[in-house]
Amino acid sequence: MMSWETVIGLEIHAQLATRSKIFSSAATAYGAAPNAQANLVDLGYPGVLPVLNREAVRMAVKFGLAIGAQISPRSIFARKNYFYPDLPKGYQISQYEKPVVEKGQMQILLEDGTVKVIGITRAHLEEDAGKSLHEDFHGASGIDLNRAGTPLLEIVSEPDMRSAKEAVAYLKKIHTLVRYLEICDGNMQEGSFRCDANVSVRPVGQEKFGTRCEIKNLNSFRYIEKAINYEVARQIEEIEAGRKIKQETRLFDPDKGETRSLRSKEEANDYRYFPDPDLLPVVIQNDFIESVRATLPELPDQKAARYIEKFGLSAYDAGVLTASREMGDYYEGVLAALKSKNLEGHEKLAANWTMGELSAALNKDGIEVTESKIDAARLAGLLARIADETISGKIAKEVFESMWAEGQEADAIIEAKGLKQITDTGAIEKTIEEVMAANPKQLADYRSGKDKLFGFFVGQVMKVTGGKANPAQVNDLLKKKLAG
Amino acid sequence: MTELHHLTLAELNEGLRARRFSSVELARHFLARIERMNPTLNALITVTAEQAMAAAQRADELLASGEAGALAGVPLIHKDIFCTDGVLTTCGSRMLSNFVAPYDATVVEKLSQSGVVMLGKANMDEFAMGSSNETSYYGPVKNPWDLKKVPGGSSGGSAAAVAARLAPVATATDTGGSIRQPAALTGLTGLKPTYGRVSRYGMIAFASSLDQAGTLTYTAKDAALVLRDMAGFDPRDSTSVDTPVPDYVASLDEPLKGLKIGLLKEFFEGGLEESTGKLIREALQVYERLGAQLVEVSLPNLPLSVPTYYVVAPAECSSNLSRFDGVRFGYRCEDPKDLLDLYKRSRGEGFGAEVKRRIMTGTYVLSAGYYDAYYLRAQKVRRLITDDFARAFEQVDVLMGPTSPTPAFDIGAKVDDPITMYLNDIYTIGANLAGLPALSIPCGTVGGLPVGLQIIGPHFAEAKLLNVAHGYQKETPWHQAIPKGYE
């Protein structure tokens, strides 16, 4: 049987977080009443003209610099002509031959721990279309042009990805980046971040690409993985059944978990692109580029490298903690608070708790790290008690839960519930003696060679102390006492 | 007694300020002429009598209070291509036969601020596509010099109205000659400014890289007065240029001694009618008498301007006119079956034959596989033509030649022959392709029909053009001629 290789390229549409639209002064906020945020320019009225929003250009340049791309000194807006009711002018203003950003790249971490570079062909500015609403109009369609003219940055990758997982990893990296740069809110449900996937398969070892299909409008990481996997399986099945893949646009149906044909290449529009005569070329000078560069934050990859190098974290952990700017800020907030308590060298502990208990609690409540019920300083307060061995890790989880539920400091909870660890050797020895006295049979068995019963005695001691005995001390003392 | 409509705009403006007559009197006078003469000429699509009287009254109050704008109280007609808030704005098309604009074009806004009184909206070729005003959904406009003749186009309504003295000034637009050719055919001064000098905001687009608003007046001085208040940078139009507007009136009387005039060799070849050519040469002699120097110059790529134009302009128009789809405004067909039917019939019924011809041409030249051969090549030739002009202006101050190869032709004579019609713009298109300012002034008549002399200048040389035109008008009577029946 033939083995197949998957080839994937992504076109990501990131809605830029400008206050007003790309060519008009109308607001871009989400969720307004239909057509309340569409002015005469957005409605394509006779005689109106577009005026470029400089902020959108600044954001595109910021993105270009973050992916190490070339910023075009002169880029051109073109018209993409087609008729559709939610496209008021009958053309979309986009960049075609000369995009503002070219030739960048993005690294992704593969499951086997290796790093792969995904090429980014280009990123260009364009305006979004409106929305056609097909419900509630008794057979007619409604049009909401609030979204028409919203600035988009279309980020086009090279066909460098070889599996749905790689595609998702790349998409997540871009998603992280645009939020780091504060150029896109990344909200996939509201459509601020969405993508189309170009998918093809070819026999392993073949250089030439197979015929590709474009899957449209994928707006969740889960759907993207599902859609690509479905599409890959479909294409392989088609080819193995002796049929040819038709170049076409397909739509993913999340309810059925499958893609279906939307239109074939023959049915595709001839968009008749040409430079928009209403807009001058976008001239970007070096001092502008440098002024934008000065606003770049520490980028996710730079931050992750710092965590690995300075804190000794694994690449995986560093990746998780830098997945959003806010998560990194939280983690570093915990470290700063520990440092203020003169506790250093606990970077791994802090990483484990941030990624473990904290993230689980956030997920459970469906809230963002910025809304966390335990702030970084309080988590540091808890970790300090682990570090100074006031409580064990196990007890700390209990304390964490109380902190989350009650909103109190760790110390207050430890005090109130008497959870402080027992480190008094005499007290632990006394408990051990009691346990030994209460379990003569097990003691005899242990002493006759059943080493496995050691764990039983540890459990009993912890049970009697309510888990508060210092586990290391319990181990040491038990060994001595049991030996007799 | 001198009739009010015999006065130039400059004289009317002066009279208003001297309180020799009121703005209300002027409005009433010109509205009465419109009422009497427009049914024959068909120069106006909409007459805004009521608004005009109200605006005139306001102008009189401002004049009395001494806070009036530079043109307060002067009556004016806007070409129906400019959006006028609350007033029907048809662009000469069935497509917009129900379109009441919700805003004012920048030109309208600026002139209103200056105090002009709009009397109505002028007829025009549909979407400014035509050279005879015969493509208008509202019917052809008649030339007041001879009612059997066309007034030129596309600003035919504006030209006929001013020539018939229905108003001292009309706004107009010029994409390939649409101000200058009608000016020539009706004996007026028609000024097309530099591309980017006047805002295009609110001017319904035909070909965005060529369209430019300007004026039709009796004299160059009048044009200077109006342009001063029309021109200027507009943040709403990215292609408008942020360069100061000079006082065009102040430089009108500068002497023309030593002026270097380039005679466009290519303009005196080919289709130029002999009698028209003769009048142009006589006009040049006037300039020689004024101390100007004539130099023959050649623009080798200029003969390519008509084919170049008829690729670029339709390409842009095919895209610009996509917004007229029956969905949000304008004409919508009855009972559309589905979306495609709505598009096809709204556009099929809303647009006239010439507009459809250009949309089809434009769609063709932009389509995959033809783009390079037509659109891209046309853009290259456009560059060459622009370079030709730039080289010529290294040698001379202005270029001169005829505006149109012939005087006004008969209504109906060329409607079935689009190529001959297109060739009517052979002398005017070059200035549009190069974005240059150009004007046409009357320089005599042939068989009772006016002939126009065209003057083209370098970018932003409007002041020079007006100065050169004014110098001629001080020496000649042609701009004072009024067609018979309209005295």
Closest in A43, A52, A272 to B367, CB measured: A272
Burial of B369 (0-12, 13-18, 19+ CB in 10 A): exposed
Same domain, A255 and A209: yes
What is residue A33's predicted lDDT score, i.e. its pLDDT?
A: 87
Percent of chain B with pLDDT over 70: 100
Whether B100 has a pLDDT exceeding 90, the answer reads: yes
Subunit contact A44:B99, Cβ cutoff 8 A: no
Same domain, A304 and A286: no
Whether B1 has a pLDDT exceeding 60, the answer reads: no
Q: Cα-flanking dihedrals φ and ψ of residue A249, to 5°?
A: -100, 130
Secondary structure of residue B297 in the 3-state scheme: strand
- Give, in order, the Cα–Cα distances in Å from A57 to each of A278, A389, A474, B238, B360: 17, 54, 64, 15, 35
Label residue A391 by pLDDT band (50, 70, 90): confident
Say if B96 is an interface residue toward chain A (CB within 8 Å): yes
Higher pLDDT, B474 or B425: B474
Q: Which of A48, A82, A131 to mutate to test the interface with B (most CBs of B within 10 A)?
A: A48
Mean pLDDT of A163-176: 95
Label residue B473 by pLDDT band (50, 70, 90): very high
Contact B225, B11 (CB under 8 A): no
**Number of domain units in chain A:** 3
- Give, in order, the Cα–Cα distances in Å from A394 to each of A390, A424, A453, A470, B285: 12, 19, 22, 11, 107
Label residue A431 by pLDDT band (50, 70, 90): confident
Residue ranges covered by each domain of chain B = 4-259, 303-378
Same domain, A240 and A108: yes
Q: Which residues of chain B does A137 touch, with a Cβ-Cβ cutoff of 8 Å?
A: none
What is residue B441's predicted lDDT score, i.e. its pLDDT?
A: 98
Say if A401 is an interface residue toward chain B (CB within 8 Å): no
Mean pLDDT of A219-235: 94
Tell me the longest C-alpha to C-alpha distance in chain A.
99
Mean pLDDT of A206-228: 92
Label residue A1 by pLDDT band (50, 70, 90): low
Calculate the dihedral angle through the C-alpha atoms of B188, B194, B199, B203, rounding to the nearest 10 degrees: 50
- Give, in order, the Cα–Cα distances in Å from A125 to each of A22, A92, A155, A173: 9, 11, 9, 20
How far apart are the C-alpha atoms of A437 and A440, rounded to whole Å? 6
How far apart are the C-alpha atoms of A143 and A136, rounded to whole Å? 12
Same domain, A330 and A283: no
- Overall size of chain A counted in residues: 484
Which of A363, A385, A417 lies at the terminal end of a domain, its last residue? A417
Label residue A217 by pLDDT band (50, 70, 90): confident
User: Following DSSP, what letter does each residue of B120-188 receive, concatenated?
Assistant: EEE--SGGG--SSS-S-TT-PPPBTTBTTB---SSSHHHHHHHHTTS-SEEEEEESSSTTHHHHHHHT-
How far apart are the C-alpha atoms of B374 and A97, rounded to whole Å? 17
- Which of A105-119, A240-254, B231-245, B270-284 is predicted most confidently? B231-245
Calculate the dihedral angle through the C-alpha atoms of B151, B156, B162, B165, rounding to the nearest 10 degrees: 60
Mean pLDDT of A73-97: 95
Q: Which residues of chain A does B237 touch, with a Cβ-Cβ cutoff of 8 Å?
A: 49, 51
Domain, as residue range, for A436? 425-483
Same domain, A433 and A460: yes
Q: Which residues of chain B does A278 touch, with a Cβ-Cβ cutoff of 8 Å?
A: 205, 208, 238-239
Tokens 């003769």 correspond to what residue?
B278
Contact A41, A87 (CB under 8 A): no
Mean pLDDT of A185-198: 93
Say if A23 is an interface residue toward chain B (CB within 8 Å): no
Residues 229-248 of B with CB under 8 A from A: 235-239
Same domain, A411 and A377: yes
How far apart are the C-alpha atoms of B28 and B368, rounded to whole Å? 56
Same domain, A8 and A71: yes
Structure-block tokens of residue B194: 């530099």
Subunit contact B319:A79, Cβ cutoff 8 A: yes
Subunit contact A277:B208, Cβ cutoff 8 A: yes
Structure-block tokens of residue A297: 């934050």
How far apart are the C-alpha atoms of B284 and B256, rounded to whole Å? 12
Contact B85, B184 (CB under 8 A): no
Active site residue B305: no
Say if A274 is an interface residue toward chain B (CB within 8 Å): yes
User: Which of B420, B209, B433, B210 minimizes the C-alpha distance to B304?
Assistant: B433
Q: Which of B238, B371, B380 to mutate to test the interface with A (most CBs of A within 10 A)?
A: B238
How far apart are the C-alpha atoms of B357 and B260, rounded to whole Å? 42
What is residue A353's predicted lDDT score, i.e. its pLDDT?
A: 94
Tell me the longest C-alpha to C-alpha distance in chain B.
70
- Looking at the complex, report in whole angstroms how far the Cα of residue A278 sits from the nearest Cα belonging to chain B: 6
User: Which of B10, B71, B11, B72 minimizes the C-alpha distance to B221?
Assistant: B10
pLDDT in tens, B276-308: 999 999 999 999 999 999 999 999 999 999 999
Q: Which of A20, A24, A49 to mutate to test the interface with B (most CBs of B within 10 A)?
A: A49
Decide which of 3.40.50.880, 3.90.1300.10, 3.40.47.10, 3.10.20.740 is the CATH code for B4-259: 3.90.1300.10
* ipTM metric: 0.95
Percent of chain A with pLDDT over 70: 99
Subunit contact A90:B238, Cβ cutoff 8 A: no
Subunit contact B238:A51, Cβ cutoff 8 A: yes
How far apart are the C-alpha atoms of B33 and B35, rounded to whole Å? 5
Structure-block tokens of residue B83: 């959006």
- Give, in order, the Cα–Cα distances in Å from A215 to each of A202, A224, A247: 18, 9, 11
Enumerate the β-bridge partners of residue B174. B212
pLDDT in tens, A134-143: 776 677 788 8
Same domain, A203 and A332: no
Say if A270 is an interface residue toward chain B (CB within 8 Å): yes
| Backbone dihedral region for residue B232 (phi beyond 0: left; psi -120 to 50: alpha; all else: beta) | left
Same domain, A382 and A328: yes
Same domain, A468 and A355: no
How far apart are the C-alpha atoms of B79 and B154, rounded to whole Å? 10
Active site residue B257: no
Subunit contact A90:B319, Cβ cutoff 8 A: yes
Percent of chain A with pLDDT over 90: 65
Q: Average pLDDT of chain A?
A: 91
Closest residue, chain A, to B336 (C-alpha): A140
Label residue A133 by pLDDT band (50, 70, 90): confident
Burial of A345 (0-12, 13-18, 19+ CB in 10 A): exposed
User: Following DSSP, what letter does each residue of A118-163 receive, concatenated?
Assistant: EEEEEEEEEE---EEE-SSSTTS-EEE-SSTT-EEEEEEE-S-B-S
Label residue A475 by pLDDT band (50, 70, 90): confident
Label residue A202 by pLDDT band (50, 70, 90): very high
Q: Which residues of chain B does A79 touch, with a Cβ-Cβ cutoff of 8 Å?
A: 319
Higher pLDDT, B448 or A475: B448
- Of B155, B178, B346, B440, catalytic: B178
Active site residue B79: yes
Mean pLDDT of A471-475: 85
Identity of the amino acid at A241 = A
Say if A48 is an interface residue toward chain B (CB within 8 Å): yes
- Of B22, B131, B136, B154, catalytic: B154
Burial of A484 (0-12, 13-18, 19+ CB in 10 A): exposed
Q: Which residues of chain A does B339 touch, with a Cβ-Cβ cutoff of 8 Å?
A: 85
Q: Cα-flanking dihedrals φ and ψ of residue A75, to 5°?
A: -120, 160
Same domain, A210 and A311: no
- Give, in order, the Cα–Cα distances in Å from A204 to each of A4, A81, A89, A245, B167: 5, 39, 46, 17, 79
Dihedral of alpha carbons A420, A425, A428, A431, sign: negative
pLDDT in tens, B130-166: 999 999 999 999 999 999 999 999 999 999 999 999 9
Mean pLDDT of B407-429: 87
How far apart are the C-alpha atoms of A279 and A77, rounded to whole Å? 7
Same domain, A245 and A355: no
Positions of E strands within A306-437: none
Closest in B91, B235, B323 to A89, CB measured: B323
Give, in degrees to the nearest 5, the angle at Cα A6 between A4 and A12: 170
Q: List all residues 6 or more positions away from B221 whose beta carbon is below 8 Å from its beta carbon.
A: B8, B9, B10, B249, B252, B466, B470, B473
How many residue pairs from chains A and B have C-beta atoms closer than 8 A?
Answer: 98
pLDDT in tens, B2-57: 799 999 999 999 999 999 999 999 999 999 999 999 999 999 999 999 999 999 99
Residues 308-347 of B with CB under 8 A from A: 315-316, 318-319, 321-325, 327-330, 339, 343
Q: Cα-flanking dihedrals φ and ψ of residue B29, to 5°?
A: -60, -50
Subunit contact A272:B328, Cβ cutoff 8 A: no
What is residue B366's predicted lDDT score, i.e. its pLDDT?
A: 96
User: Which of A90, A91, A88, A63 minimizes the C-alpha distance to A77?
Assistant: A91
How far apart are the C-alpha atoms of A256 and A408, rounded to whole Å? 47
Identity of the amino acid at A212 = R
- Overall size of chain B counted in residues: 487
How far apart are the C-alpha atoms of B173 and B152, rounded to whole Å? 13
Say if A49 is an interface residue toward chain B (CB within 8 Å): yes
- Kindly report the pTM of this predicted structure: 0.90
Higher pLDDT, A75 or A137: A75
Say if A272 is an interface residue toward chain B (CB within 8 Å): yes
How far apart are the C-alpha atoms of B7 and B218, rounded to whole Å? 9
Subunit contact B204:A47, Cβ cutoff 8 A: yes
Closest residue, chain A, to B204 (C-alpha): A47
Identity of the amino acid at A253 = D
- Looking at the complex, report in whole angstroms how far the Cα of residue A43 sits from the nearest Cα belonging to chain B: 8
Label residue A109 by pLDDT band (50, 70, 90): confident
Contact B145, B450 (CB under 8 A): yes
Q: Which residues of chain B does A26 touch, with a Cβ-Cβ cutoff of 8 Å?
A: none
